[in-house]
Structure 1
Amino acid sequence: MEIPSASATTNAGHVTRQLIDTYLITHPHLDHISGFIINTAGLPGARLKRLAGLPSTISAFKQHIFNNVIWPNLSDENNGAGLVTYMRLVEGGSPALGEGAGKGYLEISDGIGVKLFSVSHGHCMEKHPHRGSSASSRYGSFDASAVTASPRGVPGSTAASGPPSLFRNSVASQDKESICVYDSSAYFIRDSATGREVLMFGDVEPDSISLSPRNQGIWQEAAPRIANGNLAAIFIECSYDNSQTDDCLFGHLTPRYVIDEMKSLAAAVEMARQAPSKLESTKKRKREAEKAHNGADNAGTAQGDDRAVSPKSTRPAKKGPSSTSGAEHGGIDTPHIATPTAEMSLDFEVNITPVIQAPQFANALRGLKVVIIHVKEKLVDGDAPRDTILAQLQEAEEEAQLGCEFVISSAGQSFLL
């Protein structure tokens, strides 16, 4: 990549105007979208910018940002200025796109494909069922701009359309659906030429305390990619250190929960690594069983015995002089001890050294880089939150021994993956 100027700010303007054309938005909170919004108006380029995300994320931009109230309508919809075009992504990828390992990935730039999954970013404290996912019945993403509703998201007398999780036929059912879950996203970003990928989360909460746990589905998607060495890094938030209580997490992670999620990922990776060997073992047992069965059939035919004999069955030895011991013992030969028991020495040394068991899933994530993003600064004296978080993660990793490397991101940092 060539840069035109010796000035960092001029180069930043060049990158924004000319090189970046697509923005992957995980969710429409201001701390994740404000730079995009302001720069789109202040640094217009030669072509319009593409804003990609869940349909519900696009809907939030249309209703609450590019609405000529909070900000001018810079989009190419609803008679806007035409600086931004929306890309509503299909959750889980489109099965009609790509093939092989790249199946379902949407190419958003030359040689770069993405696949999007939704995750939970906590529940809304206000009682309204209109935003994000339902805690008890998740309908999925949709474009809420087509929904007619009265203020505060409660359906008005004319509201007649929308997902069934949003509109109920009675006030009682509406009260029952009083808690909504705020959707965020995670993106698998794939280099088409090499097959290498990274997984990038927006804000996300742990499955263990979520009203709509979805992280496990992400880990199951990531596991085979880690097992075959294609997934190089995970970018995941850790907003607070472990001193933050659960009731004040607001849909975010702490080191203890990052480790819990990595343990879930490690378990999924181990299963992915064992899957091919289990399949081969099953095929091998089947071949051996068929071979033994065919051998038994051939032996029975040669002896004039047409009775079917299972490969797992054995024919007991006949009683009589042919027995090796010459004793009548039910026709079954039993092993015997050559040395008289009186001459056997039973003296032996007992090793009572305690055995230290390796942690479960030890080194399951070896080679994986986990980059911590979205650390919230406290702006007070004392240790920086990033230093505390990294220390707590490394201490937990030393105990869990998952094998991954934790890195705290910083402004201007780059990674060679």
Structure 2
Amino acid sequence: MALFNRYLIFFFLISTQLFAQKKAFEVVPLGVKGGIDETNLSAYLLAPKNTTDFICLDAGTINAGIEKAIANNTFTVSADEVLRKYIKGYLISHAHLDHVSGLIIGSPADSSKTVYATKDCMQMMEKHYFNGDTWANFGDEGPGFQIKKYHFQTLAFGEETKLTNTTMTVKAFQLSHVNPFESTAFLIKNEENVVLYLGDTGPDEIEKSNDLRLLWQAVAPLIKEKKLKGIFIEVSFPNEQPDNALYGHLTPSHLMKELTKLEEFAGKGSLQDLKIIVTHRKPPTKNIQKIKEQLKKENVLGVDLIFPEQGKRFDL
């Protein structure tokens, strides 16, 4: 009987561990770089595991990224089907072109869906892009003739919003991207699992801001509860970039300083093996590689650094 109980406890522990490691989300990077490569700019498809109900996190490159994913056998359907049927909507962190150009250019071929952004970001897109002059207004708000293909939905900071045609919700948090200009972090939730995606942001000490500190305080409980599956966060420049030329971005050293602050809220050792998806590395190639090397060298927190590749699926 004692032996039986030991086996029972053993199998219980194993099954518990496997359950804890169960993947909750699928990610398909459509674009992973910052900078000048217009075929590979920030855009990440995120869906609950074993579904095709993707939300697109930023939209710098869409079509070229879908074609790359098809070439990698990540998708086995046409690019048109991925664009029109798999992508259920777009979460736009800020209105810089390297985060929205794929959405703009792809809009004539796209299907009806929702574009989510905060008030300032949405107003910039309506004023400068979907305005009837620079580009046709494919939305249902803003100037000029409204084609009404896209529903423009404004997100209020800190409020949970249902992502239409998915089982996911989103909560927006303010970021500083060359203070006083805004960017956005999105906390995406499906059932009890969450992912955090940050648009472009500089470190608090350079931005003279508390935005990252407030964000870390908000997500620390999710780390303690083992609900946070990963953090997408940018590192645009290697450490050699001077602070006065960061332009609202992070370096490896600044990222690790910020993650150390997060660990202070979540508890010592709490970030061990937490997946950190490194986004927005800027060319040239030598800098992209240098960022990777510097992050690995400075990773005293033991986070699981992920360097996404365009068109290659991974799970969280």
TM-score past 0.5 threshold: yes
Q: What is the aligned partner in structure 2 of residue 57 from structure 1?
A: 121
Instruction: Look up the equivalent residue of 2:309 and give its one-letter code.
Output: S
In the alignment, the residues of structure 2 paired with residue 412 and residue 8 of structure 1 have an alpha-carbon distance, to the nearest angstrom, of 7
Q: What is the aligned partner in structure 2 of residue 349 from structure 1?
A: none
Q: What is the aligned partner in structure 1 of residue 150 from structure 2?
A: 84
Q: What is the aligned partner in structure 2 of residue 393 from structure 1?
A: 295
Distance 1:51 1:105, change over 3 A: closer
Instruction: Look up the equivalent residue of 1:88 and give its one-letter code.
Output: T
Please say if residues 237 and 287 of structure 2, whose CA atoms lie closer than 8 Å, have aligned partners that are also in contact: yes
Q: What is the aligned partner in structure 2 of residue 69 from structure 1?
A: 133
* 1:205 and 2:202 are equivalent in the alignment: yes
Structure 1 counterpart of 2:175, from 102, 111, 119: 119
Q: Deviations along 1:8-48, whole A, 9 cap, x unmatched? A: 3862221111221210000000000000111112x132xx2
Q: Number of aligned residue pairs: give it.
A: 244
Q: Deviations along 1:144-166, whole A, 9 cap, x unmatched? A: xxxxxxxxxxxxxxxxxxxxxxx
| TM alignment of 1:330-341, pairs within 5 A | none
| TM alignment of 1:169-248, pairs within 5 A | 181-192=180-191, 195-248=192-245
Q: Deviations along 1:50-83, whole A, 9 cap, x unmatched? A: 1101011111111111112211111123531111
* CA RMSD of superposed structures (Å): 1.9
Q: CA deviation at 1:257?
A: 0.3
Q: Deviations along 1:296-322, whole A, 9 cap, x unmatched? A: xxxxxxxxxxxxxxxxxxxxxxxxxxx
Percent identity for Structure 1 against Structure 2 = 32
In the alignment, the residues of structure 1 paired with residue 166 and residue 277 of structure 2 have an alpha-carbon distance, to the nearest angstrom, of 25
Q: What is the aligned partner in structure 2 of residue 106 from structure 1?
A: 162
Q: Deviations along 1:183-222, whole A, 9 cap, x unmatched? A: 0000011112xx1111000000001111333101110111
Please say if residues 88 and 166 of structure 2, whose CA atoms lie closer than 8 Å, have aligned partners that are also in contact: no
Q: Which has the higher strand share?
A: 2
Q: CA deviation at 1:232?
A: 1.1
Q: What is the aligned partner in structure 2 of residue 281 from structure 1?
A: none
Q: What is the aligned partner in structure 1 of residue 279 from structure 2?
A: 373
* 1:409 and 2:308 are equivalent in the alignment: yes
Q: CA deviation at 1:105?
A: 4.5
* 1:28 and 2:28 are equivalent in the alignment: no
Q: CA deviation at 1:414?
A: 2.2
In the alignment, the residues of structure 2 paired with residue 81 and residue 230 of structure 1 have an alpha-carbon distance, to the nearest angstrom, of 40
* 1:251 and 2:248 are equivalent in the alignment: yes
Please say if residues 122 and 211 of structure 1, whose CA atoms lie closer than 8 Å, have aligned partners that are also in contact: no
In the alignment, the residues of structure 2 paired with residue 92 and residue 261 of structure 1 have an alpha-carbon distance, to the nearest angstrom, of 21
Instruction: Look up the equivalent residue of 1:244 and give its one-letter code.
Output: Q
Which has the larger displacement, 246-255 or 70-79?
70-79
In the alignment, the residues of structure 2 paired with residue 92 and residue 213 of structure 1 have an alpha-carbon distance, to the nearest angstrom, of 15
Which has the larger displacement, 251-260 or 62-71?
62-71
5+ long unaligned stretches in structure 1: 94-103, 124-180, 271-360
Distance 1:364 1:116, change over 3 A: same
